[in-house]
Structure 1
Amino acid sequence: MTASQHAYAWLSDALRRGMFAPGSRLPGERALAERIGVSRETLRQALTRLAEDGQLSASSQRGWYVTRQLLGEPPSVLQSFTEMAAARGLQASSRILRQIRRPATIDEATRLRIAPSAPVLEVRRVRGMDGAPLCVDTTVLVAARAAGLETVNLTDRSLYEALLVECGVRVARSAYAVQAQAADGEVATLLELVVGAPVLVGDEVTYDLDGVPVLLSRTVYRGDAYRFEADLFRPLT
């Protein structure tokens, strides 16, 4: 095994075992080369190969970073954040920023098909996987359909699961739109980004089995951590 192959194998094994967390920066090249027992030139060859494999990314001024695992639902499948994490063998986590009952805005009432100023439950959370923040999620639920959730601990719990277990409401489908934006000061702080960094914003209306709206959500994802997938079909003519 050549020195380059040794360095590549060492780093690949370290990444596989989670020695360096997704999104984290690797130690400096000098320290890493000494740790592995190779020259810096040999180390760079291995790092470049790992970057070509999609396991690392390079910053000209800040070093080498472990690529974040992309988050995203399978095409045409509606999943909760918790389910997406579990499917990847990761642990979903969250931090509650707000969990309050309030009157619906005019836009919310229209989209949820409820009376103006009807009560809604707003839940705002920072969601993450294995401790790394990935998105800021703001969900607005029809209070009449989510009775009792105001006092339920939703810190690390799926809202879909809580709706089913606590309220007997099963979500069935959603209408979803996503667009790119730049992170503002609040989002940048919550997601550990610089102001102006790219984020993806998903707006969603979720319906029950009868096609009645249950909740609205706006989720702001780190641009380097989310991928949207869809099945697209050409119309038959």
Structure 2
Amino acid sequence: MTAFAPDSLVLNRKLPLWYQVSQSLRASILGRRPDAPLRLPTEGQLAEHYGVSVLTMRQALKELETEGLISRHRRRGTFIEPAAQRGAPVRLLGSVDAIVAQQSGEAATVLGHGPAPVPAELAEHFPDLEEVVRYRRLRCDGSNGEPTNWAENAVRPELAERIEIEDLTRWPMTKVLRDAVGVRISRITDTVEARLADPETARLLDVPLLSPILHYTGVTYDDTGRVVDVARIHYRGDRFSFTVTLEA
């Protein structure tokens, strides 16, 4: 079995290197696929991967060991604790109209669109496809032009053929698919989690590298149970709040 493969990281020299490495590795561990191997690469391999010294890598691993995410064994190596998983998600029920309303209200600029290979992290949603059509959009505050979030959608090619780009500057993808394309949407599964801004997100949202952002993933299903769109939206942490009202 091959070793666990951590995500890459662009280091910010203004923050402690061991902290940045530990947070990146922590995110990789918690966000790993269920079938990912539990054994981590060696200290030297990890240090080379992140471009830091072995001493810095050792300090980062010590932090993760203190959290209970990994265990280190002499001569055997370092292993992810099987119980190191994200907490069980809170599941909330709502309507597609609520999703459309939440995503509406801000003008969007289409940064680009076109066919692209199905990303590895989305392969489970598009098992019958090799390519999707990817759309990238930037939303800005209408009052001051300040960027608030940027979105990337992966859409089935046969549906993308019927999407008008102009509609995407006015409406969220969910509304376009439902009202303009005619997709019978049955449900959307939403996930919101905290992350650190990568270089592209920092540039588009005009925030410092590694500043906190909220990462939204919305998986949209049609009435046959097929995934038609996966939206990944990156929100500025200082411009987004998540409010839920529960009726007793």
TM range (shorter): 0.5 to 0.7
Aligned match of 1:168 in 161, 182, 207?
Answer: 182
| Cα pair 1:207 1:215 within 8 Å, conserved | yes
Q: Distance in 2 between matches of 1:81 and 1:175?
A: 10
Q: Which residue of 2 aligns with 1:206?
A: 220
1:215 aligns with 2:229: yes
Aligned match of 1:122 in 130, 134, 142?
Answer: 134
Distance 1:142 1:156, change over 3 A: same
Give the superposed CA RMSD: 3.0
Q: Which structure has the higher relative contact order (CA within 8 Å, separation 6+)? A: 1
| Cα pair 2:219 2:231 within 8 Å, conserved | yes
**Equivalent residue letter for 2:101:** E
Aligned match of 1:152 in 165, 168, 177?
Answer: 165
Superposition map of 1:45-124 within 5 A? 76-79=94-97, 83-84=101-102, 91-115=105-129, 117=130, 119-124=131-136
Identity fraction in percent: 26
What do residues 39-67 of structure 1 show as CA deviations (whole Å, max 9, x unaligned)? xxxxxxxxxxxxxxxxxxxxxxxxxxxxx
Q: Which residue of 2 aligns with 1:182?
A: 196
Q: How big is the shift at 1:97?
A: 1.5
Q: Distance in 2 between matches of 1:122 and 1:216?
A: 10
Distance 1:232 1:164, change over 3 A: closer
Q: How big is the shift at 1:106?
A: 4.5
4+ long deviations beyond 3 Å: 77-82, 229-233
Aligned match of 1:194 in 196, 208, 230?
Answer: 208
| Cα pair 2:221 2:227 within 8 Å, conserved | yes
TM score, norm. by length of structure 1: 0.55
SS of the residue aligned with 1:144? helix
Q: Which residue of 1 aligns with 2:21?
A: none
Distance 1:133 1:162, change over 3 A: same
| Aligned residue pairs, count | 154
TM score, norm. by length of structure 2: 0.53
Q: Which of 1 and 2 has greater Rg?
A: 1
